[in-house]
Amino acid sequence: MRSVIDNQTNPWGTLKGVEIQRSDLWIVDFKDALQGLNQMLTRSEDMTPGLAPYYLPPKLASYFVQNVTLPELKTRAEPIRRDSRPYPTPSWDEALEPISMTFILDCYTAGSAGTANTTPYKSDVYQMLDGWRAVVRAGRGAMSSEYAIRLNADYRIDYAFDVRLLLLRGVDPQVLDTGPAQALIQQGNALAGLFGYSTIQTVGLAASAAIGANSIINDLQFSSQFRLTRCWLGSFKLSEMSYDTAKVVTLAATFYADDIQQIPQKAT
């Protein structure tokens, strides 16, 4: 006898049920790339003489990355015939399609927070991408006034670096039994390095401290991490600027990587 299902349990709405990943809780970590680029761009013996050196930021605040689009991991299907009928069978792996990222263009000036190693009136984001492009083009002629970086004795250079995409999740509300300000600061240490100039935890620090002890707070923690293995910059461009509408200026960048791997979760 046919029956109608009129009562169904929502696994995401029940206590301790299955949790889904939100698409707006993530950060991109360029720490390894910036360290590698700084090494490549500070070798004076390999640089074009007479040009001002690159000033790359020691870290890039995570909120500059506005969105990320990852390609599919694809294995090509090859038709193989059995008798008179073709069947798809696994064949060669296809190279990853480009990885797209959109950055918000910063406009810091001299003396602004987080710009101690940045040239005045130059964007941290643009300098990182411009320097990365110069490293990728090592061994070729310079474009206008950029560096013509030489290859080493083995005709090689490190131009590809791992980039991490970290997904975040909310944790159960916690009751603070001690000083709320100190507890929030301790919880913010784990994310402080990745969030650059601000952290999720310290944004409402003053307001939370004013509530007093036994306050209920919400926190974020890492849920999973993905490594974009040996990532390198292919292209980037500034968004359209017009007097007709006021919009945030962005930088659209294209990256290429060898692989996308999920890696074990660990504190950063």
pTM more than 0.85: no
Does pLDDT of 33 surpass 50?
A: yes
> What percentage of the chain reaches a pLDDT higher than 70?
61
217 closest CA partner among 185, 240, 194: 185
50 vs 127, more confident: 127
Task: Give me the residue spans of the domains in the chain.
Answer: 26-75+88-166+221-263, 172-218
> What percentage of the chain reaches a pLDDT higher than 90?
30
187 vs 121, more confident: 121
118 closest CA partner among 34, 36, 27, 193: 34
Average pLDDT over residues 142-162: 77
Q: Burial letters for 7-19: b for 16+ Cβ neighbours within 10 Å, e otherwise?
A: eeeeeeeeeeeee
Interacting residues of 261 by C-beta distance below 8 A, sequence separation 6+: 226, 227, 229
Does pLDDT of 119 surpass 70?
A: no
Rounded to whole angstroms, the Cα distance separating 250 from 267 reads: 31
> pLDDT for 174-212, tens place per residue?
554 444 445 444 545 544 544 443 444 333 333 334 434
Cα separation values, 20 from 24, 36, 169, 170, 174, Å: 12, 35, 9, 11, 21
What is 26-75+88-166+221-263's CATH number? 2.30.110
Confidence band (pLDDT; 50, 70, 90) for 109? low
Phi, psi dihedrals of residue 127, rounded to the nearest 5°: -65, -40
